[in-house]
Amino acid sequence: MIELILGGARSGKSRYAERRASEFDGEVFYLATAGADDQEMALRIKKHQAERPSHWQTIEEPVMLAAKLTENDANGRLLLVDCLTLWLSNILFSGSEGVNKEQFEREKAALVAVLPTLKADVLLVSNEVGQGIIPVNEMARRFIDEAGWLHQALANISHQVTLVTAGLPQKLKG
């Protein structure tokens, strides 16, 4: 089972995903994509870690998500990925020349290919960023476009898609 969980900033999407994971009868592996690039982000990460059950295994992977999912795949296991838009940023803006489109396309294709082959259940958390105005900044527009295309590809292969708004989950698919 693959579930894509979307929502805006502070919508409750991570809390919803963690609640779903806590109901899972098996091992839970939490794949975190965030990096502690500044003090505020480091505090956010520590807060999230403190709120998770201690028996969950945390794996930090900012880029090679498909490989880590494959490496940790097993029957009776749930793999919770939080968050795909941070993963997108990690790859897309990693090059010294600006946008690293080629690496993102490779990693995105690997992710979309590997997900349907996994034995584990998967929860994918991501920010819905396409409901606002179109930014004047080219890089911001690129990010929104790539996130939207990523979400469409993942929604296509997901068994369930849930949109969380104000802490309320709304089933879009499944």
Q: Which domain holds residue 88?
A: 2-173
Q: What is the pLDDT of residue 87?
A: 94
* Catalytic residue list contains 151: no
Residue among 2, 1, 64 at smallest CA distance from 33: 64
Residue among 92, 80, 83 at smallest CA distance from 144: 92
Work out how many domains the chain is built from and give that number. Answer: 1
Question: Has this prediction a pTM greater than 0.85?
Answer: yes
Q: How far apart are the first and last CA of the chain?
A: 10
User: How confident is the model over 83-120, as pLDDT tens digits?
Assistant: 999 999 988 887 655 557 788 899 999 999 999 999 99
- CA gyration radius for the chain? 15
Which entry of 48, 55, 151, 159 is annotated as an active-site residue? Answer: 48
Instruction: Check if the beta carbon of residue 17 is closer than 8 Å to that of residue 7.
Output: no
* CATH number of the domain enclosing 70: 3.40.50.300
